[in-house]
Structures are given as C-alpha cells and as structure tokens.
Amino acid sequence: MDYLKKPLSNILLIQPALLCLIVLAWVPVSYANTTSALPFYEPERIYYFMDEPVITASRFSQPTSQAPSTVMVITSKIIQERGYKNLVDVLEDLPGFDIQKHIGGQAGGTYVIQRGLWGNNKLLVLKDGIRLNPENGSNLVYGNQLSLGDLKQIEVMYGPASAIYGADAYAGIINLITKKVDTPKNLELEVSGGNADTAEGHILFQARPTYDSFLHIYAHGYSSNGFNLRDLYKDYHYHHPLYGRTYFYAPDQSFEIPERDWDMAFKAGWKSLEVEAVYLHTSQPTNIAAPYNTGRTQHAKDRVILDTWSFRLKHDLQITDYLEAVTKFKGQIYRMDPESRYGRRQFNNYIYERSDMLGMEEQLRYSYQSGKILGGFVFKRISTMPYLNSRTPFDEGDTYNDFPIKEVITSDGEHIEIGPFKEQHYWTYGVYVQANHRVTSKVSLFAGARLDWETFTHHKSFNPRTGIIYTIKRGETLKLMYGHAYISPSAYFRFKAWVDNNYAHLPPSVFGYHLKPEKVSSVELSYSKHTERLFLNMSAYVSRSTDSIQEAGRFLDNVLFVTSEGIQEATVEITDNTGRQTNFGIDLAASYRLSRFATINFGYSFINARQRLRGHSFDAPKISNHKFLAGITGYVGKHFSYNVRCRWISEIHTSPTNTVYHGTTIPGIFLIDANIRWLNLLPGLDAHLTIKNLLDSKYFTAANGSGDPTNGASLPRVPQDPLSFLMGLSYRF
C-alpha cells in the first residue's frame, strides 16, 4: 500500500511550519526598533483596504464597508510586493478558494473554486466590468493570459451576484480594475526569466493627449516549456485494479506541456465617451491529468488554443445633479482554434467551439441624500457553434456533418438520428433594479432583483438579493446578506458532443431531456474592523445549490451506435440537472502592521461541502476542509523589500469513484513562496526575484473528475511543479 503514502510526511510538514513561524517572528523583532529614515517605498497601510472605493458589489463606487457583499481588494502595490504574476497567484493567497493546478486547458487550465462551488464557469471574471468568460458558457481557462501588469487593483467579491450581473455570477465576481491615467505620459516595461524555459514580459503605455482625453495600451506575453513531470515523479505510482503497479505517465513516451499565452488591453476616452477592448490568447496542453494506460500521451501538439476578444463602447450622460444615464454597447468573439487536439496514441481527436455576442445595456442611476437607486435593462444576441470532439478536423462553416455517430438505437429499440451540428442563434434579456438606502447614521439597507430570460429554451430566472449593514462604530461594520444566482443551461451544456470508441457524450435534447438553470442561494454574516494598523474580516455563510448541471449527470447503457463502419454497443453520458450541494463555512482575513518594516497577514478558511448526486451523498471532491495562510512583507532601508508567505491546505476530498482514494482524501499540502525586490537600482529601475515552492516539495492536487482511470477520465491525483523561480527587471520612464 505504499502508493497511498503521503508525499509530504508529518516531519516534512512540521519542519517547514516551524521555519515559517521563526521567519515571521524574527523579522518584525529585528527591524521594529530600527531608527533609519522612512523607506522610499512605504508598505501599504493595510493589506485589504477596508474602505477603499469599490464598484463591483453594486456597480457604482462606494466604500468597501458599505458594499452589500464581502469584497477583498488587492492593490497594485500588493501585487508587486508579493510577486504575483497572474490571477491564480492572487487567489491562492485569499481565504475561501480551493486551487487545483495542472488540469489542462480544455477543462480550464487550473480549477478555481470559491467557497466550494466547483466549476470554472461559476466565477464571473471581468476587466473594468467587461466580461472575460466565454458567452457560450464554456470554462474560463485560468492561465497566464490573465495577467496583472496594468491593474490598479483587483476586487474579489464573495457570494451570488446574479441580481445585478445576470447569468454565471454564481459563486462570486472578480473584477480587474486598470490603472487610472493621471499623468501626461507614462511608460512601464517589465521582463522576467526563470527555469522551465520560462520568459515573461509586459509593456504599459498611458497618456493624456488633452485634459479631457486619455489612452491606455497594454500588452503581455508568457512562454514556458513546463517541467517534465514524468521524470520528476518517476518513483511515484498508484495501484490500478486491472494494470497493477501503474506510473503516472508512460515511461517510453515524451512529456511536453508548453504554454504560450498573451493578452492585450486598449482603452481610450474623450469626455464622457470610452472605448475598451481586451484580447486573451492561451495555448495550453489538453490532457495533463489523463492516464497513459488509455493511450494518451503528453505531446506539444496535444493542446487547446483559445482566443477571446471582448469590447465595449460606453457613454455616461449626467442628466441632472442626481440622475445619470450609462449606455453600453458590447460584444465578444470567442474561438477555439480548429487545430486544437485531444491527442491519443492511436489517433487525434480534434476539438472545436466558438461563439459571438453583440449586446446593449442601458442603466439609470439616481442619487439622493440617503442613498442611491440603480436600474436598467440589457439584451444580447448570441451565435454559437457547439463544443465538438471528433476524429476529423473542423472548418469554419456553420454546420458540422462529419460526426461519426449517425444514429443511436436505445435499449428500448428506439431509433434516433443524429443530424448535423449547426450554429445556434438566440437572444437573452434582463431587467434589474437595486436600491441602497441609509436609514440612520448606523443602519443601511440594500435590496435588488433581476429577471433574465432567453429565447432558445424560453427559461426564466428571477434572482433577488437583500441585506442590512450596521456600522457599530467608525471602522467597525456588521453585515447580514442574502443572495441568489443561477447558471444558464448555455450552449456549452446543451450541445456539447464527443465520441470515443464505445463511449460518447451527446446533447440531452437528443433523448428528450431539457436542462433547467442551476441555482444557488446564500446567507452570509460578515464582521469587519479596521484601524490605522489593523484589518480584520470574518464571514460565516451557508449556501445551497439545486438543479446542479452535471456534464455526466445521466448514463444510458446498452445503446447501439450506428456509424459508417457498422453498429457497436456503447454507453452514452448526458448533461442533466442531477446534483445538489450544501456548503457552510467561515473565512477569516487579517493584516496587522507591526512597523514600517513588517506587516503580517493571516487567513483561514473552513468549509463543509456535501454533494448529492444520483442518490449518493458525499464530501464534495476537490475541496479541502481547512486552509491556513500566513505571510510577512516589509521594507529594509530605501532599496529593499521582502515577502515570505506560507500556505497549509488540509487533505483534498476525492470522488467515490476514485480507484486509489475511493472518496477519501489526497494528502495535504504545505508550501512557502517568497519575493524579493531591489528598488531604484537606478532611477526608475527595479529588480525582483520570485520563488514558488521554496522547499521543493513534491505534492499532488485533484484531477478532472478524480475518477476511475479505467474509462480514461483522469488520473486519481495530479503531480505538481517543483521549485520554480522568475527573476527580472522593471523600468518606469
């Protein structure tokens, strides 16, 4: 049973923990009594600014203390001090998130799970309010194309938000806020390089040609060949019920997992008119978590290539001193490259999907002495080609005729023809209203609701939210909040189709099943306190999901496939509303500034997530019950800053079908990361060194389904990267 031994023994866990505690305790004592002058770069007053203005929670600017949600704010200074390079780096250091890496681009690159609500389509990611998630409902791929170089701050909102954002604002919202253009001209450059043949860089140009106009241009690129996990984990294996001693990857096959990402942002404004565009490109391996015994290999050709263009034209009209109208025309183009492949040893499966969106939103904002009322309507036209996975490449047409299954014969003898897969067109509409009202100097109320419907399935979804905010005293706030959200049965779920020998996934409509929206409701109690030195936020929540959309929610056995090569017996999986989940937990975040040379931050999360699927109840897979975060940041003299942070994650739950863990847990994880900066080596020139997995630990996260490798679903656990580093220079002209 040595395949079940923990990769990190208790001794190895205790030693790094003690090391981390010693570092955190020693540094502030060493520098607390230093009498040197105030550093040129002073650390942030606190790490999660309690009363920084935020816009995500209500879609208008307000202090965080009065926002109708728990919102964590990560400023550009924090990003630099901690050496964050992409959005996943940030979320790893926030309470309430489970992060599972090395999943593969097709499934989302990295799984990002907020408060136990699994799925990369359940967090709505925005850039200055522009949607980055694909409009067809597909997974957002969390890669290095979600970069941070042009950001003023990141606002991470916890809890359902469909009452103001509509579909997919399910677990929460992440809004990437770009830097304000407040100087006549600004140019920033950064380049970095590290092990695994990694290179990264960005350029940011900002200007104000005139007093009432501005320009913001940003470009970022990332390239890495990745680590050879086959060789790094060659001594690790698991016991397969059919194959016996089984290694993670085929020893006689190459292992290549290159990633090539880039992103660009353009923003320009003149008086009350703004035009914005965001472009994301990612090329990632598709099958890192797949077992080799099904014939899958890790070649550079086996990749998913995705491009997303999101754009918006916005006009603000101040009608009176109290009434404002905001008009937005928006669109998105989302493409999976036709050459994207899901590789097998015997053949290549080509994968493809695309969608286009054009829409408009009109919003009115009315301000009065004691509050604000906001309301509006939005409509979008979406054209989408289904997600398809087959053995023949695709073209750019609006019909796909080469799907190998031509007919299905059910166990009841019913013959069902599989027609061509065609591009689908439909409209979505939404109307919403929200009110924030200050009852007394200490009590504020908020309430809102939104109604959404679409023309393809004619489903409707009504999503309210409400709550009360009580200001105990200056800097101390208590919030009680309720919210509701939904996931639309989008094109991705309704039309997804693929085939693999005697197993296939077909649209539920083929068999007469119709999907309903997936719904979640949440109640949260939040307490926060801030002073000149301290920030503290504690939240307790309960959420319940119903009609959960499961991609493999229903199975039909003893089905016959009719193909051009004949008839064969097979199994079909169908997306269905078969699941439900109940979560409750607490999140805690705290920062305390000991001195100008040391600010300590701490985070803790507890969650109990229970899932019910096909009559069985179990701990939700991919979730850890406990997560501890701790770190310290400080400045020494005028030219040096440091950051050390630790993460301990308890055991990760797996699916009951997992052939190794059988619904038990993958061993926990302890990691230390560090970032060092040398400031103003020359005027405007900084240097940095970022180290991840400082202890070079070997550890694992959960795979796609953490399910049964005999059907090719996924590995029971996924090896992770060893120690990695990036060093580089940044220059501000």
Q: Where are the domains of the chain?
A: 2-732
Identify the CATH number of the domain defined by range 2-732: 2.40.170.20
Contact 290, 714 (CB under 8 A): yes
Contact status, residue 208 vs residue 135, Cβ threshold 8 Å:
no
Say which amino acid occupies 296: R
Q: Which tokens sit at 4?
A: 């079940």
- What is the pLDDT, as a whole number, of residue 9? 35
- Are 364 and 323 contacting, i.e. CB atoms less than 8 angstroms apart? yes
Residues paired with 152 in a beta bridge: none
* Cα(245)–Cα(228) distance, integer angstroms: 21
What's the rounded Cα separation, in Å, for the pair 409 and 401? 19
- Prediction pTM value: 0.91
Cα-atom radius of gyration of the chain, to the nearest Å? 26
365-399 per-residue burial string, b: 16 or more CB within 10 A, e: under 16: bebeeeebbbbbebebebbbbbbbbbeeebeeeee
pLDDT value of residue 412: 87
Judge whether 196 and 224 are in contact, CB under 8 Å: yes
- Between the alpha carbon of residue 375 and those of residues 162, 429, 451, 492, the distances in Å are 14, 14, 12, 30
What pLDDT, on the 0 to 100 scale, is given for residue 27?
39
Q: What is the phi-psi region of residue 144: left when phi exceeds 0, alpha when psi lies from -120 to 50, beta otherwise?
A: alpha
Task: Classify strands 626-636 and 685-692 as parallel, antiparallel or unpaired.
Answer: unpaired
Q: Are the CB atoms for 56 and 71 separated by under 8 Å? A: yes
Q: What is the helix (H) or strand (E) element at residue 494, kind and residue range? A: helix 491-495
Long-range pairs of 413-419 with CB within 8 A, sequence gap ≥ 24: 416/510, 416/511, 418/506, 418/510
How far out from the chain centre does Cα 357 lie? Answer: 21
Q: What is the mean pLDDT of each run of 10 residues along the chain (733 residues)?
A: 36 39 40 34 43 86 89 94 96 96 85 93 95 94 96 96 94 96 94 97 97 96 94 78 70 84 97 97 83 59 93 96 96 94 70 95 95 96 90 80 88 88 93 96 96 87 96 93 93 86 87 91 95 92 94 87 87 90 97 91 96 86 95 93 97 83 88 96 95 95 58 70 97 92
Q: Which backbone phi and psi does 86 adopt, to 5 degrees?
A: -145, 175
How many whole angstroms separate alpha carbon 354 and alpha carbon 334? 5
Of residues 175, 187, 59, the one with CA closest to residue 125: 175
Using CA atoms, how far apart are residues 10 and 699, in angstroms rounded to an integer?
Answer: 13
Q: Is 495 helix (H, G, I), strand (E, B) or coil?
A: helix
**Ramachandran angles phi, psi of 30, nearest 5°:** -65, -35
591 Cβ contact partners less than 8 Å away, ≥ 6 residues apart: 46, 47, 48, 534, 535, 599, 600, 601, 602
Strands 566-595 and 503-505: parallel
| pLDDT for res 714 | 62
**Helix, strand, or coil (residue 173):** strand
Residue 7's pLDDT is what? Answer: 37
- Residues with Cβ within 8 Å of residue 37, at least 6 apart in sequence: 638
Give the separation between CA 411 and CA 560, rounded to whole angstroms: 8
